[in-house]
């Protein structure tokens, strides 16, 4: 897990980004040997704690279901449209984000842009 503000700040400064109307996902290489996840779901996005917790739970589940994630740090930032959407659509959105970022990680590893 990402918990320190220093780790979040590093990702917000320079990272690979992927976004749609539900989420923005940031990713960047880390020094540890495992992929780590950070979550940012503000009260502006979902006013009720139940809704914020649902979005965070979905993001954690989508992260765990990914096979072969690179040793990167990821931050999932929820957007207001996510609160009203169904779980299946949100899971598919997150899976697409992680797949795109894994492709970017492979491209960097292979010397491409």
pLDDT tens sequence across 56-107: 999 999 999 998 888 899 999 999 999 999 999 999 999 999 999 999 888 8
User: Cα(108)–Cα(77) distance, rounded to whole angstroms?
Assistant: 23
User: Cα(104)–Cα(44) distance, rounded to whole angstroms?
Assistant: 30
Q: Given CA atoms 57, 35, 64, 22 in this order, what sign does their dihedral have?
A: positive
User: Cα(79)–Cα(77) distance, rounded to whole angstroms?
Assistant: 7
The alpha-helical segments, DSSP class H, found in 1-113 are 5-13, 49-65, 81-84, 87-109
This prediction has a pTM of 0.91
For tokens 């990713």, the residue is 27
């Amino acid at each position: 897990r990402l918990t320190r503000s220093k780790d979040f700040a590093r990702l917000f400064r320079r990272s690979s980004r992927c976004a749609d109307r539900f989420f923005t996902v940031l990713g960047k290489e880390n020094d540890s040997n495992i992929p780590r996840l950070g979550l940012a779901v503000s009260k502006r996005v979902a006013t009720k704690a139940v809704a914020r917790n649902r979005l965070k739970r979905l993001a954690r589940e989508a992260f765990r279901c990914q096979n072969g994630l690179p040793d990167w740090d990821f931050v999932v930032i929820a957007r207001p449209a996510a609160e009203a959407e169904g779980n299946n659509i949100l899971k598919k959105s997150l899976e697409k984000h992680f797949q795109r970022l894994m492709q970017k990680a492979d491209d960097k590893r292979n010397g491409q842009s």
